[in-house]
Structure 1
Amino acid sequence: MCQITADRFTKSQTGINKLYSLQPMMSITHAAIAAAGTSLILGTAEPLPLGLAIIGSQLPDIDTTTSTIGKIFFPISSWIEDRFPHRSITHSLLATAAIALISLLGGHFLLEQTFALIALPLGHLIACFSDTFTKQGVQLFYPEPAWAISVSNPRRRLKTGGAGELWVLGIAIALLSLGIYLANGGGITQKVSQNLGLRDGIVRVYNENASTNKVYAEIKGFWSSDRTNADGKYLILGTEGSEFVVTDGKGVYKTGEQIITSKVTTDVGEAARTEIKNITFNDEDAVEPLLELQQAYPGAEIYLNGELAIDFPEDVKIPIEPDQMATTSLTGSTIEFDYCSLERAIALLKEQYAVGTVEVRIVSP
């Protein structure tokens, strides 16, 4: 809760403000606090929003010519200093609202940067709030002539440039490092999901990264067939609800069926491009288009999903593989693929004519 004290400052005190010397360290402390808060609140480690937050954190002190930003924009800071007490109008929620309005207008023309622009008023607000812990406080509710101070005991308030500020600076830098770490892992929610093995968060990681990177599942669990250990690192091929279809390069498996999991976490791996294509067969040789696909994407991992009607189902021999997901099934004259590897599909469709459409998932390095 903020303690509000009556405002006894008048215009005659404006000259006193000119004698006020804001230590350079205060600018650094404001920058660190704003960057840390923005990183944690917005869940970002991107340079643009963090940079805008730092700029926003400096704006409150444009009301004095002794501050870093006041020296840079001296004509503006001198004009404000001659008319308003330090830590009044520029340290207020009114100023934050004005900066937010400017940011919204900027976002109207720079749609792709709207999220980043939020960091500018956020950095300003965080800096203003942090100043309520100092001995003087701020006129947070300007033009209401009252000073907001968060600590009632004057001895426990921060002194500009004092030892307490050094502690605050150190904590802010630590929180900034934590914010960047969490943001690179998908944010606080995502980290909690990962550590607890919550499926919704893990599925989100896959969905957000699968188009640009290989995403691996670190699985702790056992094989459903014989209860032996199935711990390992598997490449995620896709999701079905909250379960994953994965491969270890030897076979294809589904969590909840072939692998009973006790914990699953994800690891975003090397860059890779995932493409989805559809191939339609109109009573034509089934193997030829697949061979062309294989030649067009050398080194890629290719999997088929879908159904085809074939001419000679009696010639199709589907091998039974223990512990593996049934990626191919045959019903009458219809062969169904479910994350079937391209190599296996080619072998099964040899000398077959097919009708139908299959989805092809291509993961290229």
Structure 2
Amino acid sequence: MMIITHTALSIAGTALTMGTADPVVLGAAALATQLPDMDTSKSLPGRILFPVSRWLEKRFPHRSVTHSFIATGLIAFIGLPLMVVRQPIWQAVVLGYFFGWFGDVFTKSGVCAFYPSSARLVIPGNPRMRLSTGSGAEVFVFVALLAIAIATININSNGGVLTAFNKVLGVPSGAVEIVGEEGSKFLMIAQIRGRNAITQQRIDASFEVIKPLTQNDLLVKDKQGIVYRAGVSQESQILASQIQVQRSSPISVQLQSISLDSEDVYAAVANLPPERTYITGTLTIEDSEDLQLRTNPQQFSTITLQPAQGYAMAEGRSKTIAHLVSASPQEVAQQLGPYFASGSLIARTINVRS
């Protein structure tokens, strides 16, 4: 098999197996795929590594020990320091080496895959269907592998196979799964098609994803910052027929714990970053007789209230439990700011990298 065919097979196989489009990783696989042919000084790697190839050539037939599972295991062991430094490179080297000799299984002479057994692994069983180096059949195989490699790299660079299917089908559960996998690394944008659950107005718009809520629902916000639950559940404000998500900018996520013990709510959230900060948790609001929230049934309620029965009228003062789900600092300050409260909150701030 020609060097370019080995290389195309290694890149395609590694990209498919690892789901990567990293050029460094694929480059490592492409280099490693040449190593099995160092058992002959006539090959390019054999000429580069002449002392090694000369030593192997004198002791082992071509496509024997270096074209085997035992050699692949040895390469994996020798390369263990790479795993500590950067595991994907180690994986790529092992896969590249494996694909480097496995491609020769489809040639007329096959390989001693189970060395030290001298039996040769040859696929397919019909000799007429096996490849000859440089033949028209191999050129066809090379073109096919090159097309697979290009398509796979393109898919991986745009979020992988799951994202590719999501772009075509737009199944809400698939969108939630993608956000769950990539939402901690990228700002995710959702193109949602569906209807308003109350007005039945058709919706086809782009939203920024805040987080997954359930296996079928996402919490999203529009360009005005209005938050919606979008999905297929009865609680959704947007009943989605399709949700297609895609990566936007890389992000870093910062978490901050906030504990209050009969403290001013406004002071607790006043210094939080106003942009893309989402507060979740539970607070017990004191002296809350006049506490009322401004709500809109067409929007997701990031703050909800519940009477604190165990504390009701304790010491002559009423208390209310406030549940926060991805509420903005501005909303918390406006709705709960005038009150004192006890409880624990988590502020999640998304920083978009330039």
TM-score exceeds 0.5: yes
1:156 matched residue in structure 2: 129
| CA pair 286-142 structure 1, distance change in 2 beyond 3 A | closer
Contact 2:260–2:343 (Cα < 8 Å) also in 1 = yes
The one-letter code sitting in structure 1 at the alignment partner of 2:350 is: V
2:11 matched residue in structure 1: 35
Partners of 1:42 and 1:353 in 2: how far apart? 52
| CA pair 35-145 structure 1, distance change in 2 beyond 3 A | same
What is the percentage of aligned positions where both structures have the same residue? 33
2:267 matched residue in structure 1: 288
Q: Secondary structure at the match of 2:33?
A: helix
Q: What RMSD, in angstroms, separates the aligned Cα atoms of the two structures?
A: 2.5
Structure 1 residue runs of 5 or longer lacking an equivalent are: 1-21
Q: Which residue among 184, 198, 220 is the counterpart of 1:246?
A: 220
Matched, 1:359 2:354: no
Partners of 1:212 and 1:143 in 2: how far apart? 46
Contact 1:43–1:186 (Cα < 8 Å) also in 2 = no
The one-letter code sitting in structure 1 at the alignment partner of 2:176 is: V
Alpha-carbon displacement from aligned partner over 1:72-124 (angstroms, at most 9, x marks no partner): 01111122223332222222233223223333x436xx435334313323222
Matched, 1:144 2:117: yes
Partners of 2:282 and 2:112 in 1: how far apart? 70
Partners of 1:151 and 1:92 in 2: how far apart? 18
Write 1 or 2 for the structure with the bigger share of helix.
Answer: 1
Q: Which residue among 198, 202, 205 is the counterpart of 1:229?
A: 202
2:49 matched residue in structure 1: 73
1:35-184 maps to which residues of 2 (within 5 A)? 35-103=11-79, 105-106=80-81, 110-111=83-84, 113-184=86-157
Contact 2:172–2:241 (Cα < 8 Å) also in 1 = no
Partners of 1:349 and 1:139 in 2: how far apart? 74
Q: Secondary structure at the match of 2:191?
A: strand
Q: TM-score, normalised by structure 1?
A: 0.82
Q: Which residue among 332, 336, 353 is the counterpart of 2:323?
A: 336
1:303-342 maps to which residues of 2 (within 5 A)? 303-332=278-307, 333-334=319-320, 335-342=322-329
Contact 1:214–1:270 (Cα < 8 Å) also in 2 = yes
Alpha-carbon displacement from aligned partner over 1:207-250 (angstroms, at most 9, x marks no partner): 33333331122212111112211222111112222121111134
1:13 matched residue in structure 2: none
Q: Which residue among 312, 332, 345 is the counterpart of 1:345?
A: 332
Partners of 1:88 and 1:251 in 2: how far apart? 66
Q: Secondary structure at the match of 2:34?
A: helix
Partners of 2:68 and 2:206 in 1: how far apart? 52
Partners of 1:347 and 1:83 in 2: how far apart? 81
Partners of 1:350 and 1:156 in 2: how far apart? 77
The one-letter code sitting in structure 2 at the alignment partner of 1:239 is: P
Structure 2 residue runs of 5 or longer lacking an equivalent are: 308-318
Alpha-carbon displacement from aligned partner over 1:111-160 (angstroms, at most 9, x marks no partner): 35334313323222222221122233223333333333213444433221
Deviation at 1:29, TM superposition (A): 1.6
Partners of 1:95 and 1:273 in 2: how far apart? 41
Deviation at 1:179, TM superposition (A): 2.1
How many residues are treated as equivalent by the alignment?
334
Q: Secondary structure at the match of 1:231?
A: strand
Contact 2:159–2:246 (Cα < 8 Å) also in 1 = no
The one-letter code sitting in structure 2 at the alignment partner of 1:232 is: A
Partners of 1:339 and 1:128 in 2: how far apart? 53
1:256-267 maps to which residues of 2 (within 5 A)? 256=233, 257-267=236-246
Contact 2:171–2:241 (Cα < 8 Å) also in 1 = no
Moved more, 238-247 or 82-91: 82-91
Contact 1:99–1:121 (Cα < 8 Å) also in 2 = yes
Deviation at 1:312, TM superposition (A): 4.2
